């Protein structure tokens, strides 16, 4: 009897150690992680996910994802993953104080025997990248209206085969010649 009690104690200690290690990994991740079961109940949300979604992780556990997350695009990705899609990806926009952009990778969770257990959503904050892309597009449009980048660098705008192409023409070369004096 004592031997069985000792084995049980060892197994429980091993399970506890593994759980603590898993929590340490999830809490130290930069990406947000949201896990839901097949009934769409939140099983887990790491700190990064809570920060990205503006949620309290303690108040989300055991609640329906529809109660917790009010973003239809994120809910649709979760639903697609639950319905058996191998893996789905999408970008979503969150509107709080300022807009933020998340890239979401959702996949189904399967047990050891292949049964569907739920879905896992990994959230990457791509807000800075989207803003940089937007600034680049705006800069390009402004420079195109003012004769290309050469005028922005103090050179007189001269028509050349490298200037901004007319609508309908094909771009054959992406670089511009250096400014000449």
Q: Which of 112, 99, 53 is nearest to 78 (CA)?
A: 53
Q: Is residue 109 part of a domain?
A: yes
Write out the H or E segment, with its range, that includes residue 168: none
Place of tokens 């191998």: 86
* pLDDT for res 132: 80
Q: What is the mean pLDDT of the chain?
A: 78
Domain holding 59, by residue range, is 31-126
Domain count, the chain: 2
* pLDDT for res 85: 65
Write out the H or E segment, with its range, that includes residue 163: none
Q: Does the pLDDT at position 130 exceed 50?
A: yes
Task: Give the model's confidence band at 148: pLDDT under 50 very low, under 70 low, under 90 confident, else very high.
Answer: low
Buried b (16+ CB within 10 A) or exposed e, 82-107: beeeeebeeebebeeeeebbbbbbbb
* pLDDT for res 2: 86
Q: Does the pLDDT at position 8 exceed 60?
A: yes
Q: Does 74 lie in the same domain as 49?
A: yes
Taking residues 47-54, what's their average pLDDT?
92
Q: Does 110 lie in the same domain as 92?
A: yes
Q: Is residue 169 part of a domain?
A: no
Asked whether the beta carbons of 21 and 44 are under 8 A apart, the reply is no
């Amino acid at each position: 009897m004592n031997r069985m009690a000792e084995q049980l104690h060892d197994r429980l200690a091993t399970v506890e150690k593994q759980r603590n290690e898993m929590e340490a990994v999830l809490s130290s991740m930069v990406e947000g992680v949201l896990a839901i079961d097949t009934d769409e109940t939140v099983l887990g949300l790491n700190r990064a996910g809570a920060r990205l979604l503006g949620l309290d992780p303690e108040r989300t556990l055991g609640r329906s994802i529809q109660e917790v997350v009010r973003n239809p695009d994120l809910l649709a990705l979760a639903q697609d993953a639950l319905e058996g899609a191998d893996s789905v990806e999408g970008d979503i926009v969150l509107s709080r104080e300022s807009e933020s952009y998340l890239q979401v990778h959702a996949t189904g969770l399967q047990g050891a025997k292949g049964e569907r257990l739920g879905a896992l959503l990994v959230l990457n904050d791509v807000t800075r990248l989207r803003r940089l892309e937007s600034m680049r597009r705006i800069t390009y449009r402004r420079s195109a209206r003012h004769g290309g980048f050469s005028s922005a660098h103090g050179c007189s705008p001269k028509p050349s085969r490298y200037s901004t192409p007319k609508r309908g023409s094909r771009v054959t070369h992406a670089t511009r010649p250096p400014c000449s004096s």
